[in-house]
Amino acid sequence: MDKSMLGDLGTLPPEDQARMSTMIDQLQIRDSLRMYNTLVERCFTDCVDTFRRKTLDKQEETCVKRCAEKFLKHSMRVGMRFAELNQGAATPDE
C-alpha cells in the first residue's frame, strides 16, 4: 500500500490512524488477491483455448503477457479517471 496517504490522516489521533491503516491494509490484501485471480481467469480465457500440450506455446505465452500488461495499464488509467471523478473534477468532453 502507498503509505503516503497516512500523511493526510495526520490530523487524527494516533490510535485512529493505526486503525485506518490496518483497515486499508486488509482491504488492499484482499483486493490484490481478488485481482490476481480475476486477471488469471481473464487472460486464460482470452488467450488459451487449445489443449494439445500441457505447456503454453509461444503465442499463448505472449498473449498472456500482453493481456496482463494491458490490463494493468487499463486499470491505472481507470484509477486516474475514477479519482478525478471522486474529487469532483470535471473533464472536458472530447
Partner 1 sequence: MRIGKKEDIDLFSSFLLQSIMAANSNMPTALDKEQIFGMAEKEMEYRVELFNKLTHTCFAKCVEKRYKESELNMGETSCIDRCVAKYWQVTNLVGQLLGSGRPPM
Question: What would the x/- binding string for partner 1 be over residues 44 to 83, using CB under 8 A?
Answer: --xx--------------xx-xxx-xxxxxxxxxxxxxxx
Alpha-carbon gap, residue 91 to 88, rounded angstroms: 9
Per the CB < 8 A criterion, the answer to whether 43 and 64 are in contact is yes
Query: 77, exposed or middle or buried, with CB in 10 Å at 0-12, 13-18, 19+?
Result: exposed
Residue 51 Cβ, how far from partner 1 at the closest point, in Å? Answer: 19
Binding site for partner 1 (CB under 8 A): 1-2, 4-5, 8-9, 11-13, 16, 19-20, 23-24, 27-28, 31-32, 34-35, 38, 42, 46-47, 62-63, 65-67, 69-83, 85-87, 91, 93-94
